[in-house]
Amino acid sequence: MGTYNAKNGAFPRKWYVADAEGKVLGRFASEIAKILRGKHKPIYTPHVDTGDYVVVVNAEKIVVTGRKEEQKGYVWYTGYPGGLRRIGYDKLVREKPERVIERAIHGMLPHNRLGRQMGKKLKVYAGPDHRHVAQKPEPLKVGK
């Protein structure tokens, strides 16, 4: 009996919708990352994108534990001299709550072409409405 290797496009992809309301950021993000990678399927193959699509709604209602609300920050470099930028969690969640979840999940995916391909299957919306009703997404129970 040989090892099974999934082939690209040889398996169906499902659509899931996950509600982030009241969920803890890191725990929620790790569950979503597992779905995007395909680790919940028996056909999981590390070098093939076997994951499903995930639509996250109510991103503005995600919670963090402890004092991360005031202390957590996001840093990036623009590529220009003096281009180090920083924004606090509290400000980012007020202005672009989708980015908080996107960034947490993208950090849990592989940092290569395969990870970028997996990241394109993630759709995040601040409110309860989304544009993917035609795909008939199934509700995804994540955490408590």
Q: Do residues 55 and 139 touch, judged by C-beta distance below 8 A? A: no
What's the Cα-to-Cα distance from 143 to each of 9, 67, 135, rounded to whole Å? Answer: 30, 21, 24
> Is 126 a domain residue?
yes
> Is 102 a domain residue?
yes
> Is 81 a domain residue?
no
**CATH at residue 107:** 3.90.1180.10
Instruction: Name residue 15's beta-bridge partners.
Output: 53
Type of residue at 59: A
Q: What percent of the chain has pLDDT over 90?
A: 90
Domain count, the chain: 1
> Is 92 a domain residue?
no
pLDDT, one tens digit per residue, over 76-90 is: 999 999 999 999 999
> Is 130 a domain residue?
yes
pLDDT, one tens digit per residue, over 25-76 is: 999 999 999 999 999 999 999 999 999 999 999 999 999 999 999 999 999 9
Distance in angstroms (rounded) separating the CA atoms of residues 134 and 112: 30
Give the torsion through C-alpha atoms of 131, 133, 138, 143, to 10 deg.
30
> Is 43 a domain residue?
yes
Q: Residue 52 belongs to what domain range?
A: 15-63+97-139
Q: What's the whole-model pTM score?
A: 0.92
> Is 53 a domain residue?
yes
What's the Cα-to-Cα distance from 62 to each of 57, 77, 98, 106, rounded to whole Å? Answer: 10, 26, 10, 16
- Report the mean per-residue pLDDT for the chain: 95
Pair type for strands 122-124 and 53-57: parallel
Half-sphere exposure of 114 (CA within 13 A, CB side): 15
Q: What is the DSSP letter of 135?
A: G
Is 17 a residue whose pLDDT tops 80?
yes
> Is 83 a domain residue?
no
